[in-house]
Structure 1
């Protein structure tokens, strides 16, 4: 999105609405770069309001407030009409519990009390079940998968989560003292998305100091990528399980269609 052009569109739309406000606020929901703050990349919150302009971008007035939000027209999963009341939900990164990365982590205590912990600026979706006594190999692997970028918006684990890895527990195989193989540790992720169901595993080949990535789909021959170094993981996993940019789409729910104009 060209921000200067988008701001000009917002300005025209804001003044066309009229109203008694002298000032207004605006946001530009750039699907590629996301929101940027002092705490790093942030995800845009859902917006509910009325569509007041459609040009290269779609401008939504949030409720009755002097707040205007612009979305990339080409990134909407459906295009509304001017006057429609809509709810637009931009892409949001998630954790392995299926909740948004920005949602609080809830912890239930024995006395029935529930505490909520907010991680401000959280960027990584950590793999659950990696304990403090896990081998250093496994801890390093989990850390790399959670923190290495897969694309402009997501870390590797977030790509896996979007492909369905949150629906089943991650299978963890660690190095043991009596292990007679150099192909450990290993993490196995569930994959369940349109036209693809199976598992994707990431294994450390300790002898080669490299990773082995394997995709096993139901009824299909396994696809194996060997000798993957840490900076290869993102591109390799993307190639295997990311088939289009639908994950990035802004989801548009039309709450109420605009009233049809009466014929004169």
Structure 2
């Protein structure tokens, strides 16, 4: 979807609708790059409204009765609506290990029983829970890399794991101990549960080689292991193991009400 062409289509669609508004707002939902703001990459929010135009590879939705128009890439919709349909379109949104959106507030419980909601504006990383302040420096560095290293144009490594089902069960954490007789620690084990794939993916630091070992263990299959994986290869290796298509990026379309059929003349 070409953004300048999408804007031109929005303009035509907005004027064709009419209405008593003198100004209107618009946005183009770019599935590849997401939204950009002063705070960094942002995820588009769900839009509910009426499909007012479909031209080339652009679908334009008017949000409610407001003068707000949103363009979506037709090729990125999981189903294509018709002009006049009332729809809810939910673009891809990054999530945390609690299953909630990255943009959702985090609840913090206080000793007096009070619960507060904290918004982290511009949050980009989905941090691994359970990494305490007294964890080894090896483990802290490892968790930091997984949460911050990119896996693709939209996601960090942990967000790829979350999309593959890692949020459904606690992450298993194995740290270095004083009596450990192996150089293959620390180790993090993530639950994987998605269509046609169920098992675990582990990331282990080989301290002797200063590299990672990535292992995919699927139910009923032989483990797939990649050794000597350096930090700048982690994203591509994990993508290769658990990302099989671009369905995660699709805009989810819910057709709330079909357009009325035109009466035959």
Instruction: Provide TM-score, normalisation by structure 1.
Output: 0.99
- Contact 1:86 1:253 (C-alpha < 8 Å) held by counterparts: yes
Residues 198-257 of structure 1: CA distance to partner in whole angstroms, max 9, x if unpaired? 000000000000000000000000000000000000000000000000000000000000
Alignment of 1:42-191 (within 5 A): 42-57=42-57, 58-191=59-192
- Provide the C-alpha distance between the structure 1 equivalents of 2:249 and 2:151, rounded to a whole number of angstroms: 13
- Provide the C-alpha distance between the structure 2 equivalents of 1:46 and 1:52, rounded to a whole number of angstroms: 17
- Contact 1:96 1:126 (C-alpha < 8 Å) held by counterparts: yes
- Contact 1:56 1:72 (C-alpha < 8 Å) held by counterparts: no
Runs of 4+ in 1 over 2 A off after TM superposition: 108-113
- Provide the C-alpha distance between the structure 1 equivalents of 2:261 and 2:139, rounded to a whole number of angstroms: 61
Aligned-residue offset at 1:110:
4.4
- Provide the C-alpha distance between the structure 2 equivalents of 1:20 and 1:87, rounded to a whole number of angstroms: 24
- Contact 1:148 1:156 (C-alpha < 8 Å) held by counterparts: yes
Structure 1 unaligned residues grouped into runs of 5+: none
Residues 122-172 of structure 1: CA distance to partner in whole angstroms, max 9, x if unpaired? 000000000000000000000000000000000000000000000000000
- Provide the C-alpha distance between the structure 2 equivalents of 1:212 and 1:113, rounded to a whole number of angstroms: 43
Secondary structure of 1:26's counterpart equals strand
Structure 2 unaligned residues grouped into runs of 5+: none
The more displaced of 105-114 and 59-68 is 105-114
Matched, 1:257 2:258: yes
- Provide the C-alpha distance between the structure 1 equivalents of 2:54 and 2:94, rounded to a whole number of angstroms: 27
Aligned length: 264
Aligned-residue offset at 1:98:
0.2
